[in-house]
Amino acid sequence: MTSSKQALAQPATSADAAPGNQPGAARGAQGRGTPPPGGSSWRSRLYRWDMKASPYAFISPFFIVFGAFSLVPLLYTAWYSLHNVQLADLDKQTWVGLDNYQNLLSSDFFWNSLWVTFVIGVISTVPQLMMAIGIAHLLNYKLRGSTVWRVVMLTPYATSVAAATLVFVLLYSWDGGMINWLLDFIGIDPVNWRESDWGSKFAVSTIVIWRWTGYNALIYLAAMQAIPSDLYESAALDGAGRWQQFRHVTIPMLRPTILFTVVVSTIGATQLFGEPLLFGGVSGSKGGSAHQFQTLGLYMYDQGWIVGNLGKASAIAWSMFLILLIIAVINLVVTRRLRKAQ
């Protein structure tokens, strides 16, 4: 804020010093290249050219990077998904049509990975976002040391996927792990977290929840602080208690933000990769002995770089993209409905 105010002062005074010296330039600043009167010197032409070209020049680095490292590769991935490309022999690429996709549709592992991705996505996202709303609500109270609380809640975000997962692997370990020890305390039999079907999905989800809950809480907090306080005042006048205010004012006002976090979390869940990979240990790319936590992202990595079938990996990547597009369409429909309902 302060620095922008300083910047405000400087050029404003210099503009005062030269009032109306170049009226054409002033009009040019409106954005349309009206030619400055008083001579079509090369300067004014240069000036018009600058006005026209500079916006495109400014956005071009992003679009060049996006084109070269996202868009073109995305299309090439589609191309490779129609070929047999083996890691062991990269020079030989033979056209196979839709074979890779047919191969996927008839593969149990593919359907398994879709199921795993869906399950982990649901049990990591739903509790995470609900807790995040709760935490945000608490952080929205007038707190002593409010910044400290916020930073502490965000600390897991600083921990990388790899570091966090390595720690959780140890916490969830069968012998001597903290979690089984705590379960033993309250009289529950130890769980073999890595081997069990639901146990492993639960464990992987807790890593995601741990890393992202604080982050989402801050996003909700930002949205809560934007809710006008007179809404609460009139609700209080109507006799609404704290809980009713939360239900009937906070939640409805948060609806766009909730939808937004659901979308972002869904995108994240669809490509979940690092957590299950490292949770699996030595042969992590298989996602457990019965593939019980092999997500779609993990399956793609396994097929591409462990099995060495890059053509099939490309087909898996495109399946992932198609799923996200479907989710995007659903989201669009839901958003429209919500808007109409309001």
Binding mask 291-320 for another protein (x = CB under 8 A): ------x--xx--xx----x--xx-xxx-x
Decide: is 38 part of the binding site for another protein (CB under 8 A).
Answer: no
What is d(CA 207, CA 112) in angstroms, rounded to the nearest whole number?
21
Min CB(125)–another protein separation in Å: 13
Decide: is 281 part of the binding site for another protein (CB under 8 A).
Answer: yes
DSSP single-letter state for residue 309: B
Q: Measured from the CB atom, is 115 or 260 closer to another protein?
A: 260
What is d(CA 234, CA 245) in angstroms, rounded to the nearest whole number?
10
Min CB(35)–another protein separation in Å: 15
Decide: is 96 part of the binding site for another protein (CB under 8 A).
Answer: no
The residue range among 105-113, 191-199, 270-278, 286-294 that interacts with another protein, by the rule CB under 8 A, is 270-278
Decide: is 246 part of the binding site for another protein (CB under 8 A).
Answer: no
CB 212 within 8 A of CB 128: yes
User: Dihedral of CA 203/205/207/210: which sign?
Assistant: negative
Binding-residue total with another protein (CB under 8 A): 135
Min CB(264)–another protein separation in Å: 5
Rounding to the nearest 10 degrees, give the CA dihedral for residues 197, 273, 286, 163. -90
Min CB(94)–another protein separation in Å: 15
Residue 18: is it exposed, middle or buried by C-beta count within 10 angstroms (0-12/13-18/19+)? exposed
Decide: is 118 part of the binding site for another protein (CB under 8 A).
Answer: no
Min CB(317)–another protein separation in Å: 5
The residue range among 77-85, 100-108, 110-118, 191-199 that interacts with another protein, by the rule CB under 8 A, is 77-85
Min CB(292)–another protein separation in Å: 18
> 104-110: long-range contacts (C-beta < 8 A, 24 or more apart)?
104/312, 104/315, 104/316, 104/319, 109/291, 109/294, 109/299, 110/299, 110/316, 110/319
Q: Which of 88, 90, 186, 237 binds another protein (CB under 8 A)?
A: 90
Min CB(115)–another protein separation in Å: 18
Return the closest-CA partner of residue 313 out of 114, 111, 103: 103
The residue range among 75-83, 95-103, 106-114, 191-199 that interacts with another protein, by the rule CB under 8 A, is 75-83
What is d(CA 251, CA 238) in angstroms, rounded to the nearest whole number?
18
What element of type H or E holds 95?
strand 89-95
The residue range among 13-21, 100-108, 111-119, 194-202 that interacts with another protein, by the rule CB under 8 A, is 13-21
The residue range among 99-107, 119-127, 130-138, 196-204 that interacts with another protein, by the rule CB under 8 A, is 130-138
How far the first Cα of the chain sits from its last, in Å, is 36
Footprint (CB under 8 A) of another protein, residues 146-165: 147, 149-165
Footprint (CB under 8 A) of another protein, residues 161-220: 161-171, 173, 175-178, 181, 210, 214-215, 218-219
- Which ranges in 238-309 belong to alpha helices (H)? 242-245, 251-270, 274-279, 296-301
CB 331 within 8 A of CB 310: no
Footprint (CB under 8 A) of another protein, residues 53-72: 54-59, 61-63, 65-66, 69-70, 72
> 103-111: long-range contacts (C-beta < 8 A, 24 or more apart)?
103/312, 103/315, 104/312, 104/315, 104/316, 104/319, 109/291, 109/294, 109/299, 110/299, 110/316, 110/319
Q: Which of 274, 276, 287, 288 binds another protein (CB under 8 A)?
A: 274
